[in-house]
Structure 1
Amino acid sequence: MRSDQVFALIDCNAFYASCERVFRPDLAKTPIVVLSNNDGCVIARSYDAKPFVKMGEPYFQVKERLRRHGVVAFSSNYALYGDMSERVMSLIESRVPATEVYSIDECFADLTGIPGSLTQFGHDIRSKVLRCTGIPVGVGIARTKTLAKLANHMAKRLLAETGGVIDICDPFKRDWVLRNTKVKEVWGIGRRMTAHLEGMGIYRAMDLAKADPQMLRQKFSVVVEKTARELAGTPCLELDEAAPAKQEICCSRMFGMRLAELTPIKQAVATYAGRAAEKLRAQGSLCKRMRVSIRTGMFNPNELHHAQGALVELPYPTNDTLLLTRAATAAVERVFQAGYRYSKAEVLLLDLRQPGEFTDDLFAVSQPVECERLMATLDEINGRYGRGSLRAGSVPRIPDWGMRREMMSQSYTTRVDQLWRVSAH
């Protein structure tokens, strides 16, 4: 790896809440929280909402408190967040030599060889993204990915002083950040590891950077060793431009209500199988095995508890929505038992391979070419007119058992009938 390499970590600030504010400018100074599936608990907060609610708190417990403090709650709108993420990442990719999308709201960028002030370059990216998408971002710049993560964290912590951008390629600035960062805030250091390190007298990122790498490797793992070396300025982690294909694909949801009959459960499983098949095709994979499971709520002492799954061997490696849907709903019929009130279903695609990687015998059945053409057409139409425009006949458009999302904003960027309307008055 080149010694002059420079990384940037570009992270959207309070991403879910920021997406909601883009199309609700009236909430620019209003605290916002976003809720999990079925409006269960708080999974995202704007900065001004943090004093009033903790991450993960159940909404029904904090609902009145949020109302008293003027905090506005939104149901999760993943279609909006996913589309806004793609817009942000596309803008960043157009400005830098290479990127690695790390999550829905952050990416690493390669700034090696970019002339001029990297701090100014970071501000240019920040203003470009804000102007074109309305999403504020923080930019951390450093010689390693781990240091770039720390720089980004500090840029947000000292937003008023830094303007959301910090470059710590200079050793003096790097050491200042290391001295002022707790070891628990280092990328990849979890709660358990923090306890072990603090027991050894390693309380700050600087302490970890100065620790003996070989000792860390012997006592913990090569991952901790690489983290320490990266903090000391030695690059150990490359920029992964293409994410590896997933080895498993899962689609599971809580129902919006308890279901005691087989028909709506089969509808839900058909829906999840179709979504899993979309993900499968998106990464160019085929599936040979699938597990389908359903369960009741497991924490209510007044309800009967039941959980069961079935493993399905498919006739050939496939990404066919119709075949996967038929197999999944047939599996549900085998595991469903009357008398229980089910709360969740899951479809898990297993044994995933790229085409040509399955080594069956010469006479084994393979997926028909006509099926591949049909699935390509289905994806093209759904991509143009919105997910679910074409779907299996057993999948309802608006199911009664669907997730509760009573406070969901409109799909401003992915549905024509919900486009943002601007009045002339």
Structure 2
Amino acid sequence: MFALVDCNNFYASCERVFNPNLQGKPVAILSNNDGCVISMSDEAKKIGLPFGAPIFKWEEFCKQQNISVLSSNYPLYGDMSERVMKILAQFSPDIEVYSVDESFLELKGFDNINLEAYATKIRSRILQWTGIPVCVGIAPTKALSKVANKIARSNIKQSKGICIIDSEEKRVLALKWTKIGKVWGIGRRLKTRLETKGIITAFDFTQLASSLVLKEFSIVEWRLQKDLQGISKILLEDTTSSKKMIATTRSFERTFSNIHDIKERVSTFATSCAEKLRKQNSSCYMLIVMLRSDRHKKDEAQHSVSKTVVFSNPTNSTLTLSSAAVKAVSTIFKSGIKYKRAGVIVTGIVAEDNYQLDLFSTENPKHKPLMQAIDKLNRTFKADKIKLANQDLKRTWKMRQERLSPKYTTNINDVITVK
């Protein structure tokens, strides 16, 4: 059996833990630079505030409906997520942290365990220890546990936040209740393709011939179908393994048309990617730099471009990656364009100590001990004290966060004082 534990309205719930005045009231959380709504409480959903709503268009609506609008407080959410995941690890050694607010647990050897009581214990412990409400879906496969979780979430008062699919009758009823577009792994395009074949519910999808699914779709959809039929084909993933691609992309707090500002940002993003590579003991063969103008401003000239750099030797040196990224900006930057977003992606990732050597070209051997020294200093002082000269040395680059709540758990100055 698999259990999917999902935090309810996670960002809003984190804010409510430390600000009880938000309990029972509509709450909305904004994206980077206070752009659009990315999370909200059930109360805000009932009022009619849509996901993805640009706040500058919905500001008056939020005021009229008394919706508390907050900036994303990622340090708080990350810390609360870690606390929840540590608690979940107490209930099963086989855990896959699927996202910041949900995890799969594989329940091996639970044949004689009351699963409803176990799920209740999970919910109550997380709520008591963190203040975060969760729902639990339990089923024979990962895909079915996702379905079970959605059912539990759809009517918490009746389900008490728990749904267990442990019989064929329950599986069929759950799949008939689930629209095909709500199935885990079914995106917009795939939904449209399936609907043209008369597939309206998840149950309809399971009734397709497996040979047809393999022929007209792919092995991924075949595995999903088998999982929904109760035959486990989607296994837990090892989230501790090294990533195959690392990206750092950000929207700017305002648009930039000066190439020096953009080079500084891209250098900082490349530095972040290099640090992540070293943290997982990896190097990369390829770097991609992206620039984007503000697509929302239709009256301004638009430009969307990327540049790929291939290295003869894999590297995780901040010096090498930053230099390559800055040179790439020089080749793709277009004068007169107001850029709103940039990003750096490193891929072609290999183990730091396991790659093909080259007799004729090698990286400067001084880079490795230098990077080790920089990483040690930055870890010691818990901040990016050591930077490259082409980065902004005087100040930390910050997003626009005009509605930011305190960092209750990650900044000693913001810890709540009990009087």
TM over 0.5: yes
In 2: Cα distance, 1:400 partner to 1:71 partner:
31
In 1: Cα distance, 2:136 partner to 2:118 partner:
10
Q: Residues 27, 233 of structure 1: CA spacing in aligned structure 2 closer, same or farther, 3 A cutoff?
A: same
Aligned residue number for residue 395 of structure 1: 391
Task: Output the amino acid matched with 2:90.
Answer: S
Question: How far did 1:367 drift?
Answer: 6.1
Task: Output the amino acid matched with 2:7.
Answer: C
Whether the 8 Å CA contact 1:34–1:75 is kept in 2: the answer is: yes
Q: Does 1:84 align with 2:90?
A: no
CA-to-partner distance for each residue in 1:33-72, whole Å, 9 max, x for gaps?
1111221111111111112311111111111101111111
- Map 1:336-415 onto structure 2 (within 5 A): 336-362=333-359, 364-366=361-363, 368=365, 371-383=367-379, 385-396=381-392, 402-415=398-411
Q: Which sections of structure 2, spanning at least 5 residues, go unmatched?
A: none
CA-to-partner distance for each residue in 1:187-219, whole Å, 9 max, x for gaps?
122233333333433322223333332232223
In 2: Cα distance, 1:416 partner to 1:389 partner:
19
In 1: Cα distance, 2:184 partner to 2:251 partner:
31
Question: How far did 1:116 drift?
Answer: 1.9
Whether the 8 Å CA contact 2:26–2:67 is kept in 1: the answer is: yes
Tell me, what secondary structure is at the counterpart of 2:221? helix
In 2: Cα distance, 1:337 partner to 1:223 partner:
40
Tell me, what secondary structure is at the counterpart of 1:9? strand
Q: Does 1:421 align with 2:416?
A: yes
Tell me, what secondary structure is at the counterpart of 1:211? coil
Q: Does 237-246 or 9-18 show the bigger shift?
A: 237-246
Q: Residues 44, 299 of structure 1: CA spacing in aligned structure 2 closer, same or farther, 3 A cutoff?
A: closer
Q: Does 1:289 align with 2:286?
A: yes
Q: Does 1:32 align with 2:27?
A: yes
Question: How far did 1:390 drift?
Answer: 3.8
Aligned residue number for residue 262 of structure 1: 259
Q: Does 105-114 or 384-393 show the bigger shift?
A: 384-393
In 1: Cα distance, 2:189 partner to 2:340 partner:
32
Q: Residues 292, 230 of structure 1: CA spacing in aligned structure 2 closer, same or farther, 3 A cutoff?
A: closer
Give the CA RMSD over aligned residues.
2.5
Equivalent residue for 1:219, pick from 204, 207, 216: 216
Question: How far did 1:241 drift?
Answer: 2.9
Aligned residue number for residue 53 of structure 2: 57
Q: Does 117-126 or 344-353 show the bigger shift?
A: 344-353
Q: Does 1:232 align with 2:244?
A: no
Tell me, what secondary structure is at the counterpart of 2:400? coil
Q: Residues 212, 311 of structure 1: CA spacing in aligned structure 2 closer, same or farther, 3 A cutoff?
A: closer
Equivalent residue for 1:43, pick from 38, 47, 53: 38
Q: Does 297-306 or 13-22 show the bigger shift?
A: 297-306
Q: Which sections of structure 1, spanning at least 5 residues, go unmatched?
A: 1-5
Q: Does 1:160 align with 2:157?
A: yes
Whether the 8 Å CA contact 1:318–1:367 is kept in 2: the answer is: no
Q: Residues 309, 207 of structure 1: CA spacing in aligned structure 2 closer, same or farther, 3 A cutoff?
A: closer
Tell me, what secondary structure is at the counterpart of 1:50? helix
Aligned residue number for residue 3 of structure 1: none
Tell me, what secondary structure is at the counterpart of 1:258? strand
Equivalent residue for 1:280, pick from 277, 282, 288: 277
Question: How far did 1:266 drift?
Answer: 2.2
Q: TM-score, normalised by structure 1?
A: 0.89
Question: How far did 1:166 drift?
Answer: 1.5
Q: Residues 222, 291 of structure 1: CA spacing in aligned structure 2 closer, same or farther, 3 A cutoff?
A: closer
Aligned residue number for residue 18 of structure 1: 13
